[in-house]
A = this chain, B = another copy of it.
Amino acid sequence: MNRFWSSRIQNVIPYTPGEQPRNQQFVKLNTNECPYPPSPKAVEALREAVGGSLRLYPDPECTDLRSVIARREGLDIKQVFCGNGSDEILAFAFQAFFDTDREVVFPKVTYSFYPVYTDFFGLKRREVPMNPDFSVPIDLLCGNNGGVVLANPNAPTGIAVGLDTVEKLLRANPDVVVIVDEAYIDFGADSAVKLINRYPNLLVVQTTSKSRALAGLRVGWAMGDAGLIDGLRCVRDSVNSYTVDRLAQAGAEAAIRDEHYFQFIRCQVMKTREWTRSALEGKGFTVLPSWTNFLFVSHPGRSGKELLDGLRERSVLVRWWDNPDIRDWLRVSIGTEEDMNVLVNALAELV
């Protein structure tokens, strides 16, 4: 705090990103990064894009990147918006579509940035309690709200809902925007993109940070009705017109074009996930079913904090939240097979 701070920031509790250690001594399973390098074609495109043209501003509309995404998804380019990671797009969407007079609703256990957005933008929120199995109580997100946010699959639980459920949400909330945050969609769940042409209130958000192994580049995109996309553009041009730099645009475009490598990454991650899940269950851990590149794990005989600290002593970083709803759980990103062997052995030592 400082006497010059505005009232807007005096009471906000910002998001805490996962630790980014500055050396390589850890098996890093704490921020859901991809354990494989980005597509060789993306690397090549990036090397080519490095040069004299960096003196020029980027295309603020990300035209080439948006047209590649639109073509892949069977959309019009006007239905696609690109931003500096899905977090920026979510922040823009909260400002573009939610008003201060009605509650934004989302599950109580979900991406911990959502309540930060509502606080920071002065919005009201209603967090609906989870079902006992950590599934999302969809009925409680239907009606009587000013907007809905659903991470599908959900984080940090890893649980996905089907498109019939997403459609139920869209029908039950026809007058407000339903944001479906699909950061983890490529690891086994169904994307709501195919519903966009039928539901003008649907905004789907995706990212290159997970399945395209480009967390370091900061590119996300939203897909929805052209009117919603215009709203995001309006917010962007009210704060910073050029949020996706030239290299990020070039790298993301090449990565999204490389369908073959993308399939390799997602299949490999899903395979390693299922191996890890079964290995941990064999050691007595409880593991939620996951449609993501992470597992949500607990053990009946150990607290989450004990496991977190024990893993850190063994040079393994995972994510834990000091939150009563999930205090006994760890979120473990899926690394390479070797990483997961280290994790499983380390956890086995701790129980």
Please give the residue numbers on chain A whose beta carbons come within 8 Å of chain B beta carbons, in ascending order: 1-9, 12, 14-18, 20, 22, 28, 31, 33-38, 42-43, 46-47, 50-60, 63, 84-85, 87-88, 91, 95-99, 116-117, 119-120, 175-177, 200-201, 209, 213-218, 225, 227-228, 230-231, 233-248, 251
CB distance from A16 to the nearest CB of B (A): 7
Contact B55 A6 (CB under 8 A): no
Complex CA–CA separation, A8 to B147 (angstroms): 15
Q: Given A5-B231, A227-B2, is A84 in contact with B17 using a C-beta cutoff of 8 Å?
A: no
Interface centre among A177, A236, A242 (most CB of B within 10 A): A242
Specify which of B50, B52, B96 is in contact with A9 (CB 8 Å cutoff). Answer: B96
The answer to whether B56 touches A240, judged by C-beta atoms less than 8 angstroms apart, is: no
Docked pose: A58 CA to B84 CA in angstroms = 12
What separation, in Å, do the CA atoms of A247 and B216 have in the docked complex? Answer: 8
Question: How far, in whole Å, are A117 and B235 apart by their CA atoms in the complex?
Answer: 11
- With A50-B47, A242-B218 already in contact, the answer to whether A237 and B55 are too (CB < 8 A) is no
Q: Which residues of B contact A240 (CB under 8 A)?
A: 84-85, 87-88, 91
A215 nearest in chain B by CB position: B57
Are the CB atoms of A238 and B57 closer together than 8 Å?
Answer: no
Q: Most chain-B Cβ atoms within 10 A of its Cβ — which of A55, A99, A215?
A: A55
Contact call B57/A201, Cβ cutoff below 8 A: no
**Closest residue on chain B to residue A42 by CB atoms:** B54
Give bound CA distance, A60 to B14, whole Å. Answer: 13
Given A9-B238, A56-B215, A216-B54 in contact, is the A231-B4 Cβ separation under 8 Å?
Answer: yes
Residues of B within 8 A of A59 (CB): 20, 22
**Which of chain B's residues have a CB closer than 8 A to the CB of A31?**
56-57
- Are B14 and A238 in contact (CB-based, < 8 A)? yes
Cα distance A98–B95 in the bound complex, in angstroms: 18
Q: Does A15 lie within 8 Å of B241, measured CB to CB?
A: yes
A-B contact pairs, 26 of them (CB 8 A): A2-B231, A4-B176, A4-B201, A5-B96, A6-B95, A6-B97, A7-B99, A8-B96, A12-B234, A14-B238, A15-B241, A17-B241, A37-B51, A38-B52, A50-B50, A54-B215, A54-B216, A54-B217, A84-B243, A85-B240, A88-B239, A88-B240, A88-B243, A116-B237, A120-B239, A245-B245
Q: Given the complex, which residues of B lie within 8 Å of A225, measured CB to CB?
A: 2
Task: Name which residue of chain B comes closest to A239, CB basis.
Answer: B91
List residues of chain B with CB within 8 A of the CB of A218. 58, 242-245
Closest residue of chain B to A87, judged by CB? B240
CB-CB under 8 A from A60, the residues of chain B are 17, 20
Q: Is the CB of A245 within 8 A of B217?
A: yes
In the assembled complex, the Cα of A217 lies from the Cα of B225 at a distance in Å of 30
